[in-house]
Structure 1
Amino acid sequence: MSAALDMPGIALRAETLIALRSLALHHEDNTVLAALPGGFVTKRRGHGQEMADVREYVAGDDIRHLDRGSTARTGTLHVRSFQEERDRVTLLVADFRPAMLWGTRRALRSVAVAEALALIGWRIIEQGGRVGLLAIGAAEPVVVSVKGRIRGMLALIGGLVRAHDAALQLALAGERNDPVLDGALARINRVAPTGAEIVIASGFDTPGPDLRDRLGQISQRRTPRLISVVDDVAENLPPGVYPIRMPDGSRRRARITGQDRAEPASEIAGFPVLRLDSGQDVATTARVLQAAFPPDREP
């Protein structure tokens, strides 16, 4: 890789994404967001294998859950209660197409995509879920199968780094054409199990004519969640005349009047979207994602 691309905010490094684990879990125990409004997040009780606590027996408790050690020490019947066992599966979809390989401030949009998905992935793994990856670009997509635990997250990070490096190399070779997004998402149904949560982080450039239908098909058996990664400075340039370079190498001037600017979209193809600015610091991104993806949330 050339020295120009081996810079913070341009190159994607595995150690950087691994280090996001501590940031992803910061203040998690203090959150007051819940799956239902009006309360605090509580630990759910169920019949999983992770023990929640030991308490005195009351009428109606399952006698099979008697805790012999506590009963013997106290002389009073005690039973174990367990955390609810739920298999949360999330496929993280990273858009590394050519249009994502630019940015005006802290990082390329593609790097911001990888950071956001890593933050989400670390929290899901910590909560006992499993994560997989579909990284799309101008070449063949990179797929990492759904896995759990830290080993699964490290495999996902490796996939992100490989896919991003490949996208940068294609850009160096002159690749500038974006495959349509609706076609790139067709693989989701083959790599994500039924019932999975699908987190798509993209700029949604070149969506294709069938994006709405594609997301509708995904939502029939899975739960899509959209994250739009934008560059606020580029989208809100002050009025003036700006030189631009076209894909064919020619140069032109564009006049920005500052009038008729559209409000940021709250939906894309009829689905709610969370908006992230690639220029903001990663700590801010982590706080935004923590509010949007609270702990113990059902997919």
Structure 2
Amino acid sequence: MVRPELDAPGIRLSVGELLALRDGALRPGRHRPASRRPGALPAKPAGAGMDLREIRAFTEGDDTRRIDPAATARTGMPHIRSFHEDRDDTVLLIADFRPPMLWGTGRALRSVRAARALARHGWRALARGASVAVIGVSAAGVTLVRSGAGVQHMGRIALMLATGHDRALDAAGESPSLSEALIRAARLAPPGGEVLLATSAEGVASEDEPPLARLARRRRVRLLLPLDPIDTAPPTLALPIQHGPLSRLARLQPLDTLALARRLRALNVSLEVIADDAG
């Protein structure tokens, strides 16, 4: 049960607000599932299949493991091979409800805005006929809802996010690593699927990078970053910081999202910045 002082919009996450994000999302698209199994959508994006798509000049951000030795030797410039693959249109949402996400200086906690962003993506995925799964990670542990499709399934996801957020608000203890959730995600998300991880700029620690890179090898992984007002416009005055008998003054700097994007690009992960709740 959430404490009364936390039962307020922007602090407590409700099922109703996540379901209300459906409005305008479930419009019939031109894609239809190729079978009755949710998530089966034939496609020919660049991937890691067996059919050669093209050999082209290497550009920044390409996977160096796909360099073609013959074309590179022949031209004297690095070239890579890209392949087609049959994409399984499954979207896995990962919600970070650990203590660093449970705060905010704006209209809503980071964790609430992260859940809203994930729900929007979930509704859009259902609108095109994809299947959706979700993993939640908090100080209370890791929970999940396996993939499915349809409005009722999105209702189960909304309930899981709301109840998981309630437990996170009441949970005590150390902030766990993301690694366990990322390892589970690799089992839950099929090759060719999409993974959306909503967390903070400091949410991926150094020990989380290897499982995140493994997850991104055969999947499209994106980090959703809900920026807090203090991230973009911190106070200009120096702030006092005290730890026991030690104290000093420090100035906060705006978050460098470009540096974070470069770090994630090395792991084959893209970055989506969420500046406000309209994003």
Please report the TM-score for the alignment, with normalisation by the length of structure 1.
0.66
Deviates more, 1:6-15 or 1:137-146: 137-146
| Residue in structure 2 matching 1:209, options 186, 206, 211 | 206
CA positional deviation for 1:254: 3.8
Please name the residue that 1:130 is paired with: 131
What is the correspondence of 1:231-250 to structure 2 with a 5 Å cutoff? 231-243=228-240
Question: What amino acid is the match of 2:273?
Answer: R
Question: What amino acid is the match of 2:205?
Answer: G
Residue 251 of structure 2 is aligned to residue 256 of structure 1: yes
- State whether residues 182 and 208 of structure 1, in contact with CA within 8 Å, keep that contact through their aligned partners in structure 2: no
Counterpart of 2:224 in 1: which secondary structure?
strand
What is the correspondence of 1:1-299 to structure 2 with a 5 Å cutoff? 1-24=2-25, 43=30, 88-170=89-171, 173=172, 175=173, 177-243=174-240, 254-256=249-251, 263-265=256-258, 266-269=261-264, 270=266, 271-277=269-275, 280=276, 282=277, 284-285=278-279
- State whether residues 221 and 270 of structure 2, in contact with CA within 8 Å, keep that contact through their aligned partners in structure 1: no
Provide closer, same or farther for how the CA distance between residues 127 and 3 of structure 1 changes in structure 2, counting only shifts above 3 A.
same
Please name the residue that 2:63 is paired with: none
- State whether residues 22 and 120 of structure 2, in contact with CA within 8 Å, keep that contact through their aligned partners in structure 1: yes
Rounded to whole Å, the distance in 1 between the matches of 2:196 and 2:33 is 27
- State whether residues 109 and 231 of structure 1, in contact with CA within 8 Å, keep that contact through their aligned partners in structure 2: yes
Question: What amino acid is the match of 1:122?
Answer: W
- State whether residues 241 and 253 of structure 1, in contact with CA within 8 Å, keep that contact through their aligned partners in structure 2: no
- State whether residues 131 and 149 of structure 2, in contact with CA within 8 Å, keep that contact through their aligned partners in structure 1: yes
Provide closer, same or farther for how the CA distance between residues 263 and 255 of structure 1 changes in structure 2, counting only shifts above 3 A.
same
- State whether residues 104 and 234 of structure 1, in contact with CA within 8 Å, keep that contact through their aligned partners in structure 2: no
- State whether residues 93 and 200 of structure 1, in contact with CA within 8 Å, keep that contact through their aligned partners in structure 2: yes
Rounded to whole Å, the distance in 1 between the matches of 2:179 and 2:99 is 16
List per-residue Cα deviations over 1:246-273 (Å, max 9, x = no partner): 6x9x995642176xx5632334432321
Please report the TM-score for the alignment, with normalisation by the length of structure 2.
0.70
- State whether residues 125 and 148 of structure 1, in contact with CA within 8 Å, keep that contact through their aligned partners in structure 2: yes
- State whether residues 182 and 209 of structure 1, in contact with CA within 8 Å, keep that contact through their aligned partners in structure 2: no
Rounded to whole Å, the distance in 1 between the matches of 2:124 and 2:6 is 29
Deviates more, 1:2-11 or 1:201-210: 201-210
Question: What amino acid is the match of 2:146?
Answer: S
CA positional deviation for 1:119: 0.4
Rounded to whole Å, the distance in 1 between the matches of 2:236 and 2:250 is 7
Question: What amino acid is the match of 2:182?
Answer: L
- State whether residues 267 and 273 of structure 1, in contact with CA within 8 Å, keep that contact through their aligned partners in structure 2: no
Question: What amino acid is the match of 1:195?
Answer: G
CA positional deviation for 1:47: 6.2
Rounded to whole Å, the distance in 1 between the matches of 2:200 and 2:206 is 16
List per-residue Cα deviations over 1:17-44 (Å, max 9, x = no partner): 101111545xx78xxxxxxxxxxxx836
Q: Is there any run of 5+ residues in structure 1 with no aligned partner, and where? A: 30-41, 50-85, 286-299
CA positional deviation for 1:219: 1.9
CA positional deviation for 1:239: 2.0
Counterpart of 2:211 in 1: which secondary structure?
helix
CA positional deviation for 1:46: 9.4
Question: What amino acid is the match of 1:135?
Answer: G
Provide closer, same or farther for how the CA distance between residues 245 and 104 of structure 1 changes in structure 2, counting only shifts above 3 A.
farther
CA positional deviation for 1:183: 4.2
- State whether residues 234 and 252 of structure 2, in contact with CA within 8 Å, keep that contact through their aligned partners in structure 1: no
Rounded to whole Å, the distance in 2 between the matches of 1:217 and 1:234 is 29
Provide closer, same or farther for how the CA distance between residues 87 and 213 of structure 1 changes in structure 2, counting only shifts above 3 A.
closer
- How big is the alpha-carbon RMSD for the aligned residues of Structure 1 and Structure 2? 3.0
